[in-house]
Amino acid sequence: MTAITASVYWYTITPLDVLMFRDAKPFTPGERAWAGSTFPPNGHAIAGALRGLLSKTNDEKLTFNMKGPFLCHNQTLYFPRPLNYVESTPLVPLEWDEQHPLQGQMKYDESKPCPLVKPSWSDKKLNDHDEDEETLLADYLPYEVIMKYVQEGNITPDDWKKGFAKPWTVEVRSHNALETGTRQVKEADGYFVEKAIRLKDGWSLAIGLDEKTHQALLSHTKGNATVLRLGGEGHRAMLERRAALCEALEEAWSKLQEASDTRRQQSKRCMAYLITPGIFERIQREATKAGDCRDIARCRAYPWEWKSDNLVSVATDKPIPISCRIQDRDGSGQSIPAPQVFAAPPGSVYYLERPQPLYADDPNAKPGKAWERAKRMRHLGYSELLWLPYSPHNKEGSA
């Protein structure tokens, strides 16, 4: 039986200028002269922009239940490439490839995810190159390809050709401050460099919002569009809900979720495809050298609740540092910086013996502070998974 999901109302965000989303690394002009930038923005950045827009006309505490952000082009959602592919070849867990020549030869820590290998039935070497290599290495794939991926568990070489490279450029901007009465740059805090993001023409961001937030935006904008401040230095972007476009996004998302939910309810080998940054954090109480104990927050690339008897392997990349914010305890209602977390990058793929919900989505999870924090992260769009079948293919292409 397919799970019933709440209505999601889609909006697009189109930059009117460059955007800046700092990468959460500590930065002080004069000490570290480069301020990095990340893109697409994370859920905290989008929520901050919406709060800045709605707090002017809404006195109650603002909460969001958001999907995304995703890239959007020509009324189509685009998703990050799955990281379990090398060129057009899908990798498989060594445990699941019984005919692989490394079976019984490779030693690894069995309490951790199994290594991924090129499947024994593939007749293409991973170091083979062809004229379509650049096309095959698309960074973002359209809805139609991801829909097929969720239904069949495979992306063909022709599917890769429908993707795009990163649809933005990075502009390096230097900032100089001169000593008074001279033409010399200040020795202290006088020079630093920032990276700005310029999204290419025709592209925008797309976010899905819950009905309460949607109604608040309708009463605020008095129409279908408004300007909000987004990212560092408050650069402007157009928040829009054009009927034809957003209805197309809503229909596509609904079908994608339905296909994913159908797969999630089947108790068989599967893959979970992460389409937004995954925050998998656990607070552990540990002893210090001084003899006392303190809480330590640890993040890793896969959910802590997925144990080794179910989670078989992981395809991922370097973590994404994310700056969080919390409400100041002085009662002012202002937010202050919180300890940063490290998220698994979107595109990560997990191989499981059977589907298993995240802690935040598990109806049988024990309520508490940890569960509430996990729910808040999910409501900001983090850790969004699509479930798909594990579909090994032999040389002839049959399952």
DSSP letter for 61, please: P
Assigned token pair, 183: 């033409």
List CB contacts of 216: < 8 A, sequence separation 6 or more. Answer: 54, 58, 62
Q: Return the axis-axis angle of helices 211-221 and 43-54, rounded to nearest 10°.
A: 40
Alpha helices, H only, the chain:
43-54, 133-136, 143-152, 157-160, 211-221, 243-264, 369-379
Please name the residue that has the structure tokens 């640890």: 298
Strand duo 270-274 + 385-389: pairing: antiparallel
User: pTM of the full predicted structure?
Assistant: 0.88
For residues 282-310, average pLDDT: 84
Higher pLDDT, 7 or 2: 7
Res 369: pLDDT: 86
In degrees, to the nearest 5, what angle opens at C-alpha 134 toward C-alphas 131 and 138? 140
* Confidence check: pLDDT of 329 > 70: no
Q: Dihedrals φ, ψ of 262, to 5°? A: -60, -45
pLDDT confidence band for 328 (50 / 70 / 90): low
In degrees, to the nearest 5, what angle opens at C-alpha 95 toward C-alphas 257 and 299? 60
Burial state string for 64-76 with b = 16 or more CB within 10 A and e = fewer than 16: bbbbbbbbbbebe
For residues 323-332, average pLDDT: 63
- Determine the 3-state secondary structure of 50 from DSSP: helix
Higher pLDDT, 19 or 295: 19
List CB contacts of 24: < 8 A, sequence separation 6 or more. Answer: 38, 321, 322, 323, 340
DSSP bridge partners of 238:
14, 227
For residues 198-222, average pLDDT: 91
* Confidence check: pLDDT of 168 > 60: yes
pLDDT confidence band for 81 (50 / 70 / 90): very high
Please spell the DSSP secondary structure of 129-150, one letter per residue.
--TTHHHHT-SEEEHHHHHHHH
Res 58: pLDDT: 59
CA-CA distance, 285 to 37, in Å (whole number)? 33
Let me know: does 377 contact 259? Beta carbons within 8 Å.
no
Q: Which amino acid is at 34?
A: W
**Mean of pLDDT over the chain:** 84
DSSP letter for 178, please: B
CA-CA distance, 281 to 278, in Å (whole number)? 9
Of all residues in the chain, what percent carry a pLDDT higher than 90? Answer: 54
CA-CA distance, 306 to 284, in Å (whole number)? 17
